[in-house]
Amino acid sequence: MSAPVALEIAHVAARLAVEEGLEWGAAKRRALRELGLPARTALPSNEVLEDAVRAYIALFCADTQPQQLRALRRLALRWMERLQAFRPYLSGAVWQGTATRLSDIYLSLFCDDSKSAEIALIDQGLRFEPRRVTGLHGEPVEALSLSCPVPELGEEVGVHLLIYDLDDLRGALRPDARGRLPRGDAAALRRLLADAGTVDDEERRA
What does the pLDDT read at residue 62? 96
Same domain for 51 and 80? no
pLDDT digits (tens, 9 = 90+) for 152-186: 999 899 999 999 999 999 889 999 888 999 999 99
Same domain for 160 and 125? yes
Among 32, 60, 88, which residue terminates a domain? 60
Same domain for 21 and 73? no
Same domain for 96 and 31? no
What does the pLDDT read at residue 198? 57
Same domain for 123 and 28? no
Same domain for 113 and 186? yes
Give the residue from 101, 76, 78 showing the smallest Cα distance to 154.
Answer: 101
Number of domains in the chain: 2
Same domain for 101 and 44? no
Same domain for 107 and 77? yes
Same domain for 55 and 100? no
Q: For residue 64, how far is the Cα from the chain centroid?
A: 18
What does the pLDDT read at residue 114? 83
Among 60, 75, 106, which residue terminates a domain? 60
Predicted confidence pLDDT, tens digits, the chain (206 residues): 568 899 999 999 999 999 999 999 999 999 999 999 999 999 999 999 999 999 999 999 999 999 999 999 999 999 999 999 999 999 999 999 999 999 999 999 999 998 999 999 999 999 999 999 888 877 889 999 999 999 999 989 999 999 999 999 988 999 988 899 999 999 999 999 999 875 554 444 44
Distance, in Å, from the CA atom of 111 to the CA atom of 109, rounded to the nearest integer, reads 6
Amino acid at 36: G
What does the pLDDT read at residue 178? 87
The CATH number that applies at residue 117 is: 3.30.460
Q: Which residues constitute the domain of residue 28? A: 3-60
Same domain for 52 and 82? no
Tell me whether residue 138 is exposed, middle or buried, using C-beta atoms within 10 angstroms of its C-beta: 0 to 12, 13 to 18, 19 or more: exposed
Enumerate the β-bridge partners of residue 108. 89, 162
Same domain for 183 and 137? yes
Same domain for 95 and 22? no
Distance, in Å, from the CA atom of 24 to the CA atom of 62, rounded to the nearest integer, reads 20
Backbone angles phi, psi at 98, to 5 degrees: -105, 10
What does the pLDDT read at residue 1? 52
